[in-house]
Amino acid sequence: MFDDIRKINQRLSGRIEEAGIIEGIHFVKLKEGYHFFSYPAKVYQKQWYFLLNKSIKKHVPPECMNVLFDVSFRYIGPSSKQAAFDEGKYFDIAKGAHVVEIGAFIGLQAIRLAEIVGEKGRVVAVEAVKENFEMMKKNIEFNGISTIDFHNVAIWKEKGTLDFYFDDAQKNSADASVVKHKRVEVVPCDTIDNMVRLSSLEKVDFVRIQVNGVEKEAIEGMSMTIKDAPKILVAVPYKNRLEIKNTLKGYHYKVKESKHSLLAEV
């Protein structure tokens, strides 16, 4: 946690214009112009508020601490290629690229991606959890970003419905074995291939997958997309790392590993 606070101070000092609540949702606005919305701070986050720089505390109340964490970790992120790989973030993405993000959470990484790829690029952001999806929609629409397509569906190897398991700690998954305190709902599911078709992308350059245990099934549902030979970043594979690697190698990919992620390139 101390390291997270250090990064917030380093990355956000002097960049915050205001913070508070709009329409019942906590936000932080950067001087660059974006409003970032997220969930209210948890008790343990508020306990670290005293370590924030004065320039940040001047604008941000304790209730918005969680927004700071999300902006620092999800929007700004690591500064080096290796750190980005280690943490399962983006790197080496060019202007004009078409990027697919599976497990987009509240959309802050998708917004950063939209900045990177520019007006000629395209981002497809997919999030299974309805609450997270609505927050992502708020972030994208409030900031007037038109280069992101966003979809509320669970990614799977085929289209249909499936049991989806929920955890208060956001470790939600279609795999019951990775969710401890679970409630279950039947949700619509679809494939990466169909998300690409729905967004009318002729070619995909980069795919990031973070699906909490069903990475193999997600890859099995992108057999058409994979023909474009996009880079594929599997962030934080929960299980079956070797099986995921072998699946990617079956598509003639070379796979590099970091502590938390897998990167597949042709």
E strands in 43-169: 98-102, 122-127, 148-152, 154-155, 160-166
Q: Give yes or no for residue 260 having a pLDDT over 90.
A: no
Element (H, E) at 117: helix 108-117
- Reported as a single tens digit per residue, the pLDDT across 156-186 is 999 999 999 998 766 789 998 888 878 899 9
Instruction: Give which of 135, 113, 189 is closest to 158, Cα–Cα.
Output: 189
pLDDT confidence of residue 40: 97
Element (H, E) at 30: strand 25-30
pLDDT confidence of residue 170: 63
pLDDT confidence of residue 193: 98
Distance, C-alpha 13 to centroid of its chain: 24
Element (H, E) at 4: helix 2-12
Bridge-based pairing of strands 148-152 and 254-257 is unpaired
- Reported as a single tens digit per residue, the pLDDT across 120-158 is 999 999 999 999 999 999 999 999 999 999 999 999 999
Instruction: Give which of 105, 197, 113, 103 is closest to 155, Cα–Cα.
Output: 103
pLDDT confidence of residue 180: 82
Amino acid at 147: T
- Reported as a single tens digit per residue, the pLDDT across 225-242 is 999 999 999 997 777 889
* Domain regions of the chain by residue span: 2-75, 78-265
Q: Give yes or no for residue 1 having a pLDDT over 70.
A: yes
Distance between CA atoms of 201 and 78, rounded to whole angstroms?
28
Instruction: Give which of 150, 153, 128 is closest to 141, Cα–Cα.
Output: 150
- Reported as a single tens digit per residue, the pLDDT across 194-205 is 999 999 999 999
200: phi then psi, degrees, rounded to nearest 5? 55, 40
- Reported as a single tens digit per residue, the pLDDT across 10-40 is 999 999 999 999 999 999 999 999 999 999 9
Q: Distances in Å between the alpha carbon of 143 and those of 17, 29, 111, 115, 249?
A: 15, 11, 9, 12, 39
Mean of per-residue pLDDT scores for the chain:
93
pLDDT confidence of residue 86: 83
pLDDT confidence of residue 81: 85
Taking only Cα atoms into account, the Rg of the chain, rounded to an integer number of angstroms, comes to: 18
CATH number, domain 78-265: 3.40.50.150
How many beta carbons lie within 10 A of that of residue 239, not counting itself? Answer: 15
Helix pair angle (108-117, 130-142), 10° resolution: 40
pLDDT confidence of residue 169: 66
Report which of residues 97 and 1 the model is more confident about: 97
Amino acid at 170: Q
